[in-house]
Structure 1
Amino acid sequence: MFERFADGARRVVTGAEAEARSLRHEYIGTEHLLLGVLAQPGDPAAAVLVRAGLDAESGRRAVVRLLGGPPGEVDGAALAAIGVDLAAVREAVEAGFGPGALDGPTGGGRRPKRGGPRFGARAKQVMVLSLRAATGRGDRRIEVGHLLLGLLREGNGLAVRVIRDHGLDLADVEREVESALAAAAA
């Protein structure tokens, strides 16, 4: 299916994977795809959200607020608020137990994961809906706008929650994205 993806849409998918890794999430969800879209602010469809004030930074903050970020981000701020220097704690632990001692379990009979985060069920559905959006319009390639339409039409993922929480009406965004796709095709 990825052979039908235009360069911008491929960047969205690779960006979504990078976001999932960066946040240490074990899957790629609709929220990661949304962050991948927002990382393409020059794309006419992504610009619909950016013009409304939902950019990559505010999108990432919303996702972290809803799901959490990399381990230690929130904990570090909470500990600093009560006077605990997390960097000093890490340094002391690593001095006694070696570098990376706090980076997570390595044993316990668990096999290390192979590859990167996998697409979750909703993200897979977004891909299907993106393909349908493109073919329904008679477009030969899947563009960033088709991915955004897929996110909107999936309707239940965290991406939709982020968009709604930002005060945007899904139907209005969908109409604007459709218009942006039509203008780009003309």
Structure 2
Amino acid sequence: MFERFTQGARAAVTGAVTHAERCDAGSVTEEHLLLALLDQEGSRASFAVAALGLKARRPSVEAALADARRRGGMTKADADALADIGIDLTAIVSRIEEAHGEGALRGDRTGRRRWSGDRAFTKEAKKILGKSLRIAVGRGDRFVGEEHLLLALTASPGIVADVLAEHGATYETVNRALYGDGDAGQDRRAAG
């Protein structure tokens, strides 16, 4: 699959590994892929990111991702579903942090020996890579570019897609920023 990745897509993958190493994460996640895409300049995906205002709101995106990590990976939809049955996720997180320290649900590797060698990708991050290939094939592209990675991040349910949607970057808005209005039907089928 990686032989079909463009230089920019490969740079995004290696940038994700760098982000994981920087924060001493045990593996590379979808969050690291997003941060690597936000770092890029001069690509189709970076144009879409800038057009949607994500570059300018990067601190807000990073804060929302950190908040989701603090909740133990629970999405806003999860929190809303729990609230519907009378469970306040914020109160639960606060009580856990009172008992076990700040960030107890984050799953940080703090205090463990530093892991050396290649960083493994989480199951979810691998799904993003696979979905980016399906999106590219569905569009008729013979390559997987960073734009396909960005679309895959918006099309895959989870924290990253939620944070992107909160900041105005849904599958549809990213697709429109990348390709205009003409391809929306064809590309949506590719994401499914």
Distance 2:132 2:178 in 1: 12
Q: Which residues of structure 1 form unaligned runs of 5+?
A: 69-102, 107-111
Deviations 1:27-50 (A, max 9, x none): 211111111111113212232122
Task: Give the corresponding residue for 1:134.
Answer: 136
Task: Give the corresponding residue for 1:50.
Answer: 50
Distance 2:168 2:145 in 1: 25
Deviations 1:102-128 (A, max 9, x none): x8345xxxxx74523311111111111
Change (3 A) 1:57 1:40: same
Task: Give the corresponding residue for 1:63.
Answer: 65
Change (3 A) 1:119 1:126: same
Partner AA of 2:18 in structure 1: A
Root mean square deviation of aligned Cα: 2.5
Structure 2 SS opposite 1:150: helix
Q: Look at both structures and tell me which one has the larger radius of gyration over its CA atoms.
A: 1
Task: Give the corresponding residue for 1:99.
Answer: none
Task: Give the corresponding residue for 1:25.
Answer: 25
Structure 1: 4+ residue segments shifted above 6 A: none
Contact 1:6–1:141 at 8 Å: present in 2 too? yes
State the percentage of identical aligned residues: 35
Task: Give the corresponding residue for 1:161.
Answer: 162
Deviations 1:133-168 (A, max 9, x none): 1112221211111111111222x1322122122244
Distance 1:45 1:179 in 2: 13
Kindly tell me the number of residue pairs found equivalent between the two proteins.
141
Task: Give the corresponding residue for 2:119.
Answer: 117
Deviations 1:67-90 (A, max 9, x none): 26xxxxxxxxxxxxxxxxxxxxxx
Contact 1:122–1:157 at 8 Å: present in 2 too? no
Task: Give the corresponding residue for 2:154.
Answer: 152
Q: Which residues of structure 2 form unaligned runs of 5+?
A: 71-109, 184-192
Change (3 A) 1:63 1:176: same
* TM-score normalised by L of structure 2: 0.63
Task: Give the corresponding residue for 1:175.
Answer: 176
* TM-score normalised by L of structure 1: 0.65
Change (3 A) 1:42 1:61: farther
